[in-house]
Structure 1
Amino acid sequence: MEEKDATPEYLKGFNNGYLLAEHEPGLIQQLEKSLDKSSDYAHGLKMGKKQRDREILLQQLKQSQEQNKQKDLGR
């Protein structure tokens, strides 16, 4: 969903999903199961969680690449 097309409910869900994924990952999993999947809020919650998960993965990849680079320099 484009940001310009996002409803206030979607944005609220996205922001809450991002923060919950960061601070309370167990809670967001429970919420995802109980919310009406067709609501803008639920969709935003899911996408916010997905965004946080992507950022964590990218951070881990960068750390791994940096470690490999350091190992290569030590050879």
Structure 2
Amino acid sequence: MDTIFSQLYIEIISIGSKVVVREKFAIGLGWIIGLVIFGGWMSIIGNPHVIETSIGLVMGVSAGLWIYFKLSSNK
């Protein structure tokens, strides 16, 4: 009886750790993609002013959030 509960506990922890790892991966990849998009935009623009920087921030944040929500959805 004790082994059934311990196996169930191990399975629950294993499932929980996969969710945590997936969540951390989604956060990390979202940051990386967002920064790459922002950096690429800044390198294309060259000498950015306020509006170009704002456009780059919006593009980077939206790309990062899109990646995060696509990867962290529970399937």
TM-score w.r.t. the length of structure 1 is 0.48
Which structure carries more helix by proportion? 2
TM-score w.r.t. the length of structure 2 is 0.48
